[in-house]
């Protein structure tokens, strides 16, 4: 499977799930300065910062995990991005999409999602809640979390 096809499939899942109308731009900029994952999407460009040493077609799960925050939150204020649940939501939704696309899912690991030691127990609780559900129930929970995160925007 190609990177372009994976981006398009991820885009389709996001559209279907959250009724978010976006198009994968023709210009994709790849950046890989360190082990971080980031993305930014506007009408003409998609920037993917993917921290992998593998070829991208060999790490499509990383592509999904990197693309999700860009497609959902590029036009959001920084307020939502400091919410402890924001990182958990992105990791959980990426995991859900990876499973949906039959890719090897990247585990939702609390160690990489905490923003401070105070958040750790809450982050672990959210992850456990998500992982205890089946695929359909996970989607219901993700929609609830997405709605809650969008409320912080208002």
B/e letters for 9-27, b = 16+ CB within 10 Å, e = fewer, are bbbebbeebbeeebebeee
Across all residues in the chain, what is the average pLDDT?
Answer: 85
Mean pLDDT, rounded, for 101-127: 82
Highest mean pLDDT among 22-31, 63-72, 115-124: 63-72
Phi, psi at 27, each rounded to 5°? -100, 115
At 97 the pLDDT is 97
Mean pLDDT, rounded, for 96-123: 83
Q: Determine what percent of the chain is predicted with pLDDT higher than 90.
A: 39
Q: How many CB atoms sit inside 10 A of residue 148's CB?
A: 13
Residue 25, CB-side half-sphere exposure with 13 Å CA sphere? 17
Torsion angle of the four alpha carbons 73, 76, 78, 82, in this order, in degrees rounded to the nearest 10: -50
At 136 the pLDDT is 97
Token representation of residue 130: 């998500």
118 pLDDT above the threshold of 80: no
Q: Determine what percent of the chain is predicted with pLDDT higher than 70.
A: 90
Q: What is the pLDDT of residues 1-27, one digit of tens each?
A: 788 899 999 999 999 999 888 888 888
pTM: 0.87
User: Beta 38-41 vs 27-31: how paired, if at all?
Assistant: unpaired
More confident residue, 107 or 28: 107
Strand, coil or helix: 45: strand
């Amino acid at each position: 499977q190609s990177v372009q096809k994976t981006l398009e499939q991820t885009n389709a899942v996001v559209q279907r799930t959250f009724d978010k109308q976006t198009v994968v731009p023709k210009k994709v900029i790849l950046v890989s300065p360190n082990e971080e994952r980031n993305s930014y999407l506007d009408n003409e460009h998609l920037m993917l910062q993917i921290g992998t040493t593998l070829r991208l077609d060999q790490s499509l799960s990383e592509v999904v995990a990197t693309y999700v925050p860009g497609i959902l939150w590029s036009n959001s204020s920084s307020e939502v991005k400091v919410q402890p649940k924001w990182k958990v939501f992105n990791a959980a939704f990426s995991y859900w999409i990876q499973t949906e696309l039959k890719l090897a899912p990247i585990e939702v690991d609390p160690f990489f999602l905490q923003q401070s030691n105070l958040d750790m127990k809450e982050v672990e609780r959210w992850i456990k809640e998500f992982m205890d559900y089946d695929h359909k129930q996970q989607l219901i929970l993700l929609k609830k979390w997405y709605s809650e995160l969008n409320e912080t925007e208002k």
